[in-house]
Amino acid sequence: MTENAQSPHNAMLVAPIRRRSKMTRLWRALRKAPPSAWFGLIVIVVYIFTAIFAPLLAPYSETELIGGAFEPWGGKFILGTDQLGRDMLSRMIYGARNTVGIAFLTAILSFVLGGALGLTAAISGRWIDQLLSRSVDVLMSIPPLIFALVLLSIVGSSVPNLIIIMAVLDSTRVFRLSRSVAQGVVVMDYVEAARLRGEKLPWIMRREILPNIMPPLVAEFGLRFCFVFLTISALSFLGLGIQPPTADWGSMVRDNAALITYGDITPLLPAGAIALLTVSVNLVVDWFLHKTSGLRE
């Protein structure tokens, strides 16, 4: 390592170097990404596109009864109709919007909640840490699916309730992760330097610690998103998730499950949509983890 600062510089002549922008660095990273990550990214982009433009893409309405029950594939209805005679393809497309959208909102909320509390616990330590950590232990000691079922049957199954309950239950995992990674950063000298400077808690959290724990949190976000997504589908399948007539993939599997008996694979389509998204998110997360893990140095 050379010690450039030793040599005299033309201090006046050197113009400030502008760094490569975030976009170009992102693009460079993407170009080097393996095919699996590309596949995952493309699938995710297609899902997001479908979710946003659902009304334009879907040939029919989400809830309208337009044909007979269980019509076969082809003709007027590309993927047939469901048990009430609604267009399967349209419901698949709207399902992307409902299921993925709700899962995304829930994951974001659980990260804001769990992350903020986790960082507070790591920085403050002492009784605040004890109080938060033990409360989280209590919440985690109850199996989340059963807990969610109980709560939903008490407060009633509406979309806001669903999001809040799922987010709170899921934030316990985020809390644990962010607390433990933040504890490694809190002991660093630069955090001590910020304290000695007289910085307040929010600044230390946001500017000194958060940027350093982003990689594991982002990776965890991908995984959490999948779990939330699967849990919502599971809840819908059990009848306590997203309520009819709103289309969502979980309840679509349940409603059409009988068709399997007759060798019709239609009920597998929403299940396949769930599986494909889950796998794709994991492929991207794997790539991201590999990129940000210490393996490169």
Q: How far is the CB of 71 from another protein (least distance, A)?
A: 55
Interaction residues for another protein, span 98-137 (CB under 8 A) = none
| 123 and 205 Cβ atoms separated by less than 8 Å | yes
* String marking each residue 145-184 x if it binds another protein according to CB under 8 A: ----------------------------------------
Q: How far is the CB of 9 from another protein (least distance, A)?
A: 5
Token duo for residue 98: 């409902």
In this structure, the chain runs to a length of 297
Among 6, 21, 141, 261, binds another protein (CB under 8 A): 6
Q: How far apart are CA 140 and CA 188, in angstroms?
A: 30
Among 129, 199, 264, 286, binds another protein (CB under 8 A): 199
193 binds another protein, rule: CB under 8 A: yes
Among 17, 23, 138, 146, binds another protein (CB under 8 A): 17
> How far, in whole angstroms, is CA 56 from its chain's centroid?
25
Q: Which is nearer to another protein, 142 or 193 (CB)?
A: 193
Q: Could you give the C-alpha distances from 289 to 10, 72, 124, 224, 285, in angstroms and in order?
A: 41, 44, 28, 14, 6
| 104 and 51 Cβ atoms separated by less than 8 Å | no
Q: Which is nearer to another protein, 5 or 154 (CB)?
A: 5
φ/ψ of 63, rounded to 5, equals -110, -15
Q: How far is the CB of 284 from another protein (least distance, A)?
A: 21
206 binds another protein, rule: CB under 8 A: no
Q: How far is the CB of 11 from another protein (least distance, A)?
A: 4
Interaction residues for another protein, span 41-100 (CB under 8 A) = none
Count residues contacting another protein (CB under 8 A)? 31
Q: Which is nearer to another protein, 24 or 153 (CB)?
A: 24
23 binds another protein, rule: CB under 8 A: no
Q: Which is nearer to another protein, 53 or 203 (CB)?
A: 203
Q: Which is nearer to another protein, 138 or 187 (CB)?
A: 187
| 45 and 57 Cβ atoms separated by less than 8 Å | no
Q: How far apart are CA 218 and CA 117, in angstroms?
A: 17
H-type helices in 125-207, by residue range?
Answer: 126-140, 144-155, 159-186, 189-197, 201-203
Among 180, 212, 278, 292, binds another protein (CB under 8 A): 212
Q: How far apart are CA 64 and CA 82, in angstroms?
A: 11
Q: How far apart are CA 287 and CA 4, in angstroms?
A: 36
196 binds another protein, rule: CB under 8 A: yes
Q: How far apart are CA 250 and CA 239, in angstroms?
A: 9
Q: How far apart are CA 153 and CA 240, in angstroms?
A: 8
List of residues contacting another protein (CB under 8 A): 1-6, 9-11, 14-19, 188-190, 192-193, 195-199, 207-208, 211-212, 296-297
